[in-house]
Amino acid sequence: MRAMFGLVALLVGVALMFYLFTRDASETLRVSKPMQDQAQQMSGRGEDGQSAMSSFKSDPQMQGNRLADLLVTEVAPGGAMDQFYGLKKGDQITYLTTQAGLQKISEASNNDPEMARAQVQETFQGSRPIVVMRSGKQFTLPASAAPAVTQAPAPGSTAVAPPPPSQSTPQPQQPHNVYDQINQIKDAAGK
């Protein structure tokens, strides 16, 4: 009889440990998905695994020997620039949010069209907004990360305050090991 109680207690303990470990694993998987997406964007790739640079094509628009903007000529559906910015064919990329703030694309790239494309990818990797002209209207993309400024700066000025930092809500303390989990279960049962 004692052996049977010992065996039942052992089985209940194993079942409890299995439950706790699988619950912790599912939480880890749930939390890791946004981190994987962020790491993918930081590497310059979209959800489809293709590079942001290859997800759109553009032609430089020059004013004399100065770069005015990049005219988007093609956007891969479901690509990085489509998914993150909502970039469309015909958009004119005029401003980028660099580490120094909002800058004209010509100034951020030193009037070099290839450097401008690389700067667009770097802006994507940093999850920073860009400003485009679309059908004669100015838009900040992505719309969810609009910078503090809604209009482009006046000609002659280069930097504007960067977008406000994203605010995150504090997450509840997660147990670090089995003992913490058991104590949390005991606390919850006692309440």
Per-residue confidence (pLDDT) for residue 101, from 0 to 100: 87
- Taking domain 53-145, whether its CATH number is 2.40.30.10 is answered by no
Structure confidence by residue, pLDDT tens digits, 98-118: 888 899 999 988 999 999 999
> Which positions ≥6 away from 133 have C-beta within 8 Å?
69, 91, 92, 94, 139
Q: Domain segments of the chain: what residues?
A: 53-145
Name residue 80's amino acid. A
Taking the C-alpha atoms of residue 166 and residue 61, their distance in angstroms, rounded to an integer, is 33
pLDDT in tens, 35-81: 777 777 787 787 777 888 889 999 999 999 899 999 999 999 988 89
Question: CA of 13: how far to CAs of 16, 56, 187, in Å?
Answer: 5, 56, 18
pLDDT of 68 reads 92
